[in-house]
Amino acid sequence: MSLSVRSSIFILATSAIVAVGVAVKLREASERTDDGDRGLRGASNFVEQGRTHTKDLAKRISRAQHIAFVGNSMLGTRIDKDTINELAKPREVAILKEGNTFSAVWYLGIKQIIESPTPPKNVVVFFRDRMLTWPTFRLNDNAVEFLQGMMESNGVDPLVDRYLPAEGEDNDGFFNELEAIHARVTEPNDAMITRIEDLALDVTKIEKDKDKRRFAMSERFSMENLRHDLPADIQDEVTTMSTVSSDGYETPNDFHDALAESLLPAMVNLCRENGVRLILVRVKRRPDAKGYRESSPELDQYISDLSKWLAERDVPFIDAAPISPFTEADYADGDHVSAESRPAYTRWFWKQLTPHLAP
């Protein structure tokens, strides 16, 4: 008996689709029994991470602060905690960093800081190039969960909520449904991957148990230990000529278009209304990064417009890109400053910051 092309492909495609359905169902079942163990490939419970970040912020701002630094690894790898504490004395400083975060997270963080019983006099936000007006950057499913985790205890913020995919039926219900299915299909089964890793950890055990080894590996591969010659993680948003895109996330090229879609005005208003000085810091990206230009006329125009807009609102803006004396040798991987140069960077930065600080 012979088979037609159509029926052969139909049978194979059907078995593939059924397999995908089975995999999704299996994953849902495994998630119900998952103990939240974190896989080494970085998979974890992002809702929980968002909750933890919020709790962490609340804990760190519970005591009186004079200056709160907010940002992602651009802040974390630039400001040395001991050095800044020493320089700022007798003022108290809080460094509220969380890697891979973006402006929507910073906005929620600022909101939380301001709502605290003893808000700081100054909030300093570190950002790269266009990131301040790009709230949807990194807003993939993980980041959505992170934001949801952050908003759980403090209530949903309508300004942030507008960036999140709507739940249930609405005008775009069908597409949301499709997106949800796509996300379920393309997300790996963390529990299954963790089991394979556990097997490898058990077989290769010499001394330490699994948890200790996971911790040791996480330390071993931490940012502090990264090579100095690796390119930056964000590459093309500074050179693209039209609508800027990076890893599939888009933002308008023009500052005013980007501003309309951003949380920057909300950040500025929030701080002004509560008597907190907002200071914005654009960091200098890795100089002479292999294969990537540092700037473009479009980006220069954007920064110039941003600077004017902030000046009109009396918001201090430190653009470290043209003035930072630090060279490629001071950087670790990509745009991160190395641990060795961090104290020097902190001292240099403090000099730039002090004229702008509210008393």
Partner 1 sequence: MIFQSFDYLIFLLIVVVTYWRLPMRVQNWFLLAASLVFYGYVHPWYCALVGATILIDYSAARMLSARPQGSRGRKRILATSLTATFSILCWFKYFNFFTEAFWTAFAQLGIDIPKPIIEVLLPVGISFYTFQSASYVVDVFRGRQDLCRRLDDYALFVVFFPQLVAGPIERAGHLLGQITRPRVADAKQCADGFTLIIWGVFKKVVIADSVGIMASRVFSIQDASFPMVWAGVIAFGVQIFADFSAYTDIARGTAKLLGFDLMKNFNHPYAASSPVDFWRRWHISLSTWFRDYVYIPLGGSRCGRWRVAFNLLLTFALSGLWHGANWNFIIWGVYHGILVAIQHLWQSRNGGGAGTSASFIRSFLARAGTFVLVHIGWLFFREQNFDYLIEYLSLSPFGVTTSDWETGLFIALLAQLFALPLWIHGWMDKHDNRLVKWLSGEEPGVSPIRRLTVQAVLVFVLALLITSLRSPISADFIYFQF
Count of residues touching partner 1 (by CB under 8 A): 58
Counting contacts by CB under 8 A, is residue 23 touching partner 1? yes
Q: How far is the CB of 315 from partner 1 (least distance, A)?
A: 35
Counting contacts by CB under 8 A, is residue 188 touching partner 1? yes
Q: What are phi and psi of 14, to 5 degrees?
A: -60, -45
DSSP symbols for 279-346:
EEEEPPPPTT-TT--S--HHHHHHHHHHHHHHHHTT--EEEHHHH----GGGBSSTTPBPTTTHHHHH
Tell me whether residue 29 or residue 323 sits nearer to partner 1 (CB atom).
29
Residue 4: both structure tokens together: 């037609």
Tell me whether residue 12 or residue 260 sits nearer to partner 1 (CB atom).
12
Counting contacts by CB under 8 A, is residue 225 touching partner 1? yes
Alpha-carbon span 56 to 29, nearest angstrom? 31
Alpha-carbon span 61 to 113, nearest angstrom? 7
Tell me whether residue 168 or residue 204 sits nearer to partner 1 (CB atom).
204
Among 2, 33, 171, 242, binds partner 1 (CB under 8 A): 2
Q: Is residue 324 within 8 Å of residue 301, measured between CB atoms?
A: no
Counting contacts by CB under 8 A, is residue 8 touching partner 1? yes
Among 29, 181, 199, 329, binds partner 1 (CB under 8 A): 199
Q: How far is the CB of 52 from partner 1 (least distance, A)?
A: 20
Q: How far is the CB of 197 from partner 1 (least distance, A)?
A: 6
- Bridge partners (DSSP) of residue 124 are 69, 279
DSSP symbol at 131: G
Q: What are phi and psi of 356, to 5 degrees?
A: -95, -10
Counting contacts by CB under 8 A, is residue 60 touching partner 1? no
Among 55, 63, 162, 208, binds partner 1 (CB under 8 A): 208
Alpha carbon separation from 150 to 53, 65, 68, 127, 160 (Å, rounded): 7, 22, 18, 20, 11
Interface residues toward partner 1, by CB under 8 A = 1-5, 7-9, 11-20, 22-24, 26-27, 41-43, 182, 185-189, 192-193, 196-197, 199-201, 203-208, 213, 216-217, 220-221, 225-230, 293, 333
